[in-house]
Amino acid sequence: MQCLEHPVEKLRSILFSTRKDLIEAYEQYSQAEKRFLEGSLLPGSSVFTAITIHSNSDWIPAHPEAPQDFQSFYSNPYRSTPDPGHKTIYIQTIGCLTDGAGITEQYVEWLREYCEAFYYGLRVKLLPAVTVAATSCMFRVNSNTNNLQLHAGDLLTFLKKIKPKDAFCIVGITMIDLYPKDSWNFVFGQASLSEGMGVFSFARYDDNFYTHNYAGKLKRTLKLKPGDYSVFQDYYTPPINSTLLLRSCKTLTHEIGHIFGIKHCQWLQCVMQGSNHLEESDRRPLDLCPICLRKLQCAIGFKIADRYKALLQWIEKESSAHQSDKPTEAFQDYRQWLCKCLSILEATNK
């Protein structure tokens, strides 16, 4: 295992930038926020730690990319920033996420509330769920894994047509696996950053996906007819549990982060780290490192403590509108982490 440690001075210049206006903008943070951010860069920080590389199949060795500091994020003319007429994130559910429409509705409401806390200050709205047939997308059976897959590009074409005028972005989510083109095995998701849209599948976050007896495998003898969507009517959906909810929250916020123009993080452990496989994705934390936090904060303009409080409230809040309890067991480490961050932010306030 390799530890990707950066000297504190380097991390400070990545956070502050070298541009005079951006250094001045940094001064707008409260004393407490500055002490929190700067303390987070120190090697002994109790809240942020160095990225570790476990093998050559991890994202960083497998996909060399130029790292993105705050200044290069800020200076990118193609990044998207919400404005008063475009400050809503829309979530479009495609097909059933879970067993039964009622549970899908509840699940997606938990995701909506989570995104609204994470992107604190923006509205997150659900569009009425649609069936796979309503998108008119192409589909196929994957010849290796024998599960159903939807054509990601066709889903983006559908999302483009229905994107509301006041949208900052629209994201499609589905429990059915995706493929980008015939020659590819699968894809976790696909996005068009310039058009503010993306589509993501949580199918491979089901613990059983890679097992031999995965219930989403179709019978080898089944013949699919193009345009006949009846095969989706009672297609397998995974059982809802805390791990699936955590993975879905993590993927969704990571992918929306890209729509803001935030690239893969190479500075400290962060939800914006790239991931090449499920084990690496599970290793990533749920939240942003101080550098990516500044990127998001400058795009939206929240108080850091308010955002952490909203996330904490999401974990602690009972489900109100529905009967079942939100499965938050997997979020308990994150709850403690948020409490620690808030205690630092509030202690330095005095």
- Report which DSSP code applies to 264: -
**How many other β-carbons are positioned within 10 Å of the β-carbon of residue 118?**
25
The interface region with Zn ion, picked from 134-142, 175-183, 272-280, 331-339 by CB under 5 A, is: 272-280
CB of 132 to Zn ion, least distance (A): 25
The interface region with Zn ion, picked from 103-111, 190-198, 214-222, 264-272 by CB under 5 A, is: 264-272
Name the nearest CA neighbour of 260 among 303, 304, 293: 293
Nearer to Zn ion, 293 or 310 (CB): 293
CB of 306 to Zn ion, least distance (A): 20
**Rounded to the nearest 5 degrees, what angle is found at the Cα of 185, between the Cα atoms of 184 and 190?**
70
CB 247 within 8 A of CB 282: yes
Which regions of 189-288 does DSSP assign to beta strands (E)? 189-192, 197-201
| Site membership for Zn ion, residue 272 (CB under 5 A) | yes
CB of 263 to Zn ion, least distance (A): 8
| Site membership for Zn ion, residue 270 (CB under 5 A) | yes
| Site membership for Zn ion, residue 292 (CB under 5 A) | yes
| Site membership for Zn ion, residue 150 (CB under 5 A) | no
Give the active site residue among 195, 255, 279, 280. Answer: 255
Interface positions, 204-263, toward Zn ion (CB under 5 A):
none
Give residue for tokens 């690239």.
263
CA distance 236 to 245: 17
| Site membership for Zn ion, residue 14 (CB under 5 A) | no
CB of 265 to Zn ion, least distance (A): 3
Nearer to Zn ion, 307 or 326 (CB): 307
Give residue for tokens 């089901």.
206
Q: Which two tokens stand for residue 49?
A: 């730690």
Residue of 47, 265, 299, 311 interacting with Zn ion (CB under 5 A): 265
Name the nearest CA neighbour of 150 among 104, 198, 94: 94
H or E, element range at 2 = strand 2-4
The answer to whether residue 255 is catalytic is yes
CB of 124 to Zn ion, least distance (A): 19
| Site membership for Zn ion, residue 169 (CB under 5 A) | no
Residue of 286, 289, 299, 338 interacting with Zn ion (CB under 5 A): 289
The interface region with Zn ion, picked from 32-40, 158-166, 234-242, 287-295 by CB under 5 A, is: 287-295
Which regions of 87-246 does DSSP assign to beta strands (E)? 88-94, 123-130, 139-141, 148-151, 167-174, 177-179, 189-192, 197-201
Beta-carbon contacts of 332 under 8 Å, excluding residues fewer than 6 positions away, are 315
Q: Which two tokens stand for residue 20?
A: 């005079």
CB of 269 to Zn ion, least distance (A): 8
Nearer to Zn ion, 15 or 310 (CB): 15
Q: Which two tokens stand for residue 88?
A: 């809503």
| Site membership for Zn ion, residue 299 (CB under 5 A) | no
Provide the annotated active-site residues.
Answer: 255
Using CB under 5 A as the criterion, which residues of the chain lie in contact with Zn ion when the complex forms? 265, 270, 272, 289, 292
